[in-house]
Chain A
C-alpha cells in the first residue's frame, strides 16, 4: 500500500470519502451533544446554530430535577454490573473446565451460540415472561439479571475458552509443582487470562446496558426501570423536551464510550464469538 500524499488526486478522494464517513457516523452524536447544551429557545431557532451560542446545563438540571433519570441510571448500573459479575462467576470456571479437562464441550457451546443467534430476544421473551411471572420474578432486577446472564453465557464461554487456550499448559504445570492446582490457577492462569476476562465482561456490560426488550417486558414499576426503558418513556410522555432528551442520550452513552476505548482491540474476536448481537 503506497502512502498517498495529501495533495495527490487519490489522496484527495480518500480524504473526501473519510470526511463523508466521519460526518455520517459522528455528526448525529455531535448534534445530540450540541442540542443538549442549548437553552430551550435556541433549540428551535431558524437557521439552527451548529454550536450553542449560550452553553447551558439547564437541560441536565431539568433531567435530574424533574425526572427519575438518576434512579434509572442507578438501576442500570446495578443490573449491568451484577450481570457481569454473575456471568463471569459462572463462565470463568466453566471455560477453564472446558479447556483443561476432556469434554465434548466445544460442539456444545458452538451449537448454543448458534441457538442464541436463532433465538433473538423477541422469540424467547414470551415463554421467558410467562415463566418469570410464574416464579414471581417480574418487576424485579433479579429476573432481568437472569435473562441477561442466560443471553450472555454462550458467547462468554466461547470467548473465555479461546483466551484460556492461548495460555500454554506448561506454564500452569510448572506452577503446580510449587503448589496446589488452585494456587496455580489463582496466581498464574487467571492473571494471564485477565485481559480476556475483562474483554468478556465489557461485552456483557454493553449488552446488558443497552438492552431494551427484556427490561420493557419484565419491568413495569417506574422506580425499577433501567435507562433504555426510562428514556423511551420520557420521550413518549406528552410534549417532547428535546434538550432534556438529548442530555439524557449523552449521559447514557458516556459509560459505553468509556469502556469502548478498552474493547477496541478485542472487537474482532468479540465479533467472531457472538459478543456483539443485534
Chain B
C-alpha cells in the first residue's frame, strides 16, 4: 500500500483489536454474575418479570431449610469421594503410562477419551452396564457368585455409589493428563541416585516422585474441587428415569430444581452466590495453607 493519509496510533490499534473480546466478556460473563447477585435479594419468578425486594430473606430461608443442608451434605460426600478416587486412580494410571510397554502411546490416547465425550453418553453407557435386569455387571457379579440377587444400582441404596463410579470414570483422565506431563519432566538422575541409595519402588515413589508432583497435585485438587462441588450434569442425568432422585440431590441439583422446577429464581441465585462464596473462601484458605507449607 502507498502513503496512507491517516494512521491510527499504535495503542489505538491494539485497543480496537481487543475491544470486541472485552465487550463480549463484560456483557456475557461479568454482567450476568453481578445480575445474579442482585436478583438473589429479590423474590423473583423465573419466567415472569415481577419481583419484590426482600433483603436477605432468601439467604435466611436457606439457613433454615433442612433440604438445603441435606443437599450440601450429599454434595460434599459426592465431591470428596470422587476427588479422592480420581486422584488415586489418576496418579496410578499416569505412573503406569510413564513406563515403557508395547501399545503405550495408544493407551495414552484411549485413557483420555472418557473425559472428552459428552456427559450424557458417559451416563447412558454406565446405566446400561449397571442395569438391574439386563446389565452386564449384574450378570458378571452374579455369575461370579458375589451376589444372589441382581443389585439395583439405580435404587436408593446404590445410586450414590453408581454416581461416584461414573464420575470417577469420566473425570480421572483430567488427573492423568496433568500428572503424566509433570512426570515426564522429572530428571532421571533423581531416580538413579535413589537406586544407588538402595530404595525400592515404593520408596522411590514416596521420596522422589511425590515431592515433584506436589505443585501439580495442588492445582489438580483445587480445580477438581471446584468442578466436583459444582457438578450438575452427571448427577442430574443419573437421576433421570429413576425414583432415587433425592439420594443424590446435591447442591447444584437443588439449585437447579428451585430455579427451574419451582421457578424461584431469586432463591436459586442466592444458592449460587452461597456456592461461590463457599468455594472462594475454601480456595483462599487452601492457598494460605499451601503457602505456609511451602515456607516450612
Interface string of B104-124 (1 = CB under 8 A from A): 100101111111111111001
A249 and B230 in contact (CB under 8 A), knowing A22-B110, A149-B24, A271-B181? no
Across the interface, which residues of B come within 8 angstroms of A129, CB to CB? 46, 259, 265
Across the interface, which residues of A come within 8 angstroms of B21, CB to CB? 90-91, 93-94, 153, 157
Q: Smallest CB–CB gap between B141 and chain A, Å?
A: 13
Q: Is the CB of A29 within 8 A of B18?
A: no
Across the interface, which residues of B come within 8 angstroms of A268, CB to CB? 177, 181
Interface size class of A (residues with CB under 8 A): 35 or more
Any B CB within 8 A of the CB of A57: no
Q: Identify the closest chain A residue to B128 (Cβ).
A: A242
Complex-state Cα separation, A18 to B94, whole angstroms: 11
Stretch in contact with the other chain, from B26-34, B57-65, B156-164, B204-212 = B26-34
Across the interface, which residues of B come within 8 angstroms of A110, CB to CB? none
Q: Is the CB of A127 within 8 A of B33?
A: yes
Q: Is the CB of A126 within 8 A of B272?
A: yes
Q: Is the CB of B124 within 8 A of A1?
A: no
Q: Is the CB of A123 within 8 A of B111?
A: no
Q: What secondary structure prevails in chain A residues at the interface with B?
A: helix
Stretch in contact with the other chain, from B80-88, B95-103, B288-296 = B95-103
Any B CB within 8 A of the CB of A252: yes
Any B CB within 8 A of the CB of A163: no
Give the interface centre of A11, A21, A112 by most chain B CB atoms within 10 Å: A21
Any B CB within 8 A of the CB of A191: no
Any A CB within 8 A of the CB of B244: no
Stretch in contact with the other chain, from A63-71, A167-175, A192-200, A230-238 = A230-238
Q: Identify the closest chain B residue to A227 (Cβ).
A: B118
Any B CB within 8 A of the CB of A136: no
Complex-state Cα separation, A253 to B123, whole angstroms: 13
A153 and B25 in contact (CB under 8 A), knowing A21-B111, A48-B139, A264-B109? yes
Across the interface, which residues of B come within 8 angstroms of A91, CB to CB? 21
> Nearest 3 pairs between A and B by C-beta?
A101-B14, A97-B17, A150-B28
In the complex, 13 of the A-B residue pairs with CB atoms within 8 angstroms, ordered by the A residue number, are A25-B169, A94-B18, A118-B226, A126-B255, A128-B28, A154-B25, A212-B236, A217-B260, A227-B118, A227-B120, A252-B118, A260-B109, A260-B113
